[in-house]
């Protein structure tokens, strides 16, 4: 079966639903509780490449720390990445990662894109 990792927040219903969909499909993913074990800069960069998205597209803008940091389109990619590494609560969840692709599990059914 595919080697799949999920950046998981057990308190998030979407994250729990995505994990349940993976398990229902017979996948036992590597579960990374990213709030406790945040990705490194290089892990985040590699995942962004697999997601085919810019760092600011992976940021949860409703979090209080987002307003505190005052991030905007004027920030560099490196600044966005550094903000997520230092404040993993900013990372949209869940992120499901395979060898060569990744998806954001919003909606949770996006996990199907990795299983097909």
DSSP codes of every residue in 21-87 = HHHHTT--PEEE-TTTSPPPHHHHHHHHHHHT--GGGGB-TTSHHHHHHT--TTS-HHHHHHHHHH-
- 12 is an active site residue: yes
Strand pairing report for 30-32 and 5-7: parallel
Q: How far apart are CA 44 and CA 39, in angstroms?
A: 6
Selected catalytic residue, list 6, 12, 36, 60: 12
| Residues catalogued as catalytic | 12
């Amino acid at each position: 079966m595919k080697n799949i990792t999920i950046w998981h927040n057990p308190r998030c219903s979407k994250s729990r639903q995505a994990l349940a969909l993976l398990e229902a499909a017979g996948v036992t993913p590597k579960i990374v509780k990213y709030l406790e074990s945040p990705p490194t800069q290089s892990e985040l960069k590699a995942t962004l490449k697999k997601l085919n998205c810019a760092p600011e597209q992976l940021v949860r803008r409703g979090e209080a720390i987002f307003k505190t940091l005052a991030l905007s389109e004027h920030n560099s990619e490196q600044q966005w990445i550094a903000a997520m590494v230092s404040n993993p609560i900013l990372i949209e969840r869940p992120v499901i990662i395979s060898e060569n692709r990744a998806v954001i599990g919003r909606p949770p059914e996006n996990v199907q894109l990795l299983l097909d």
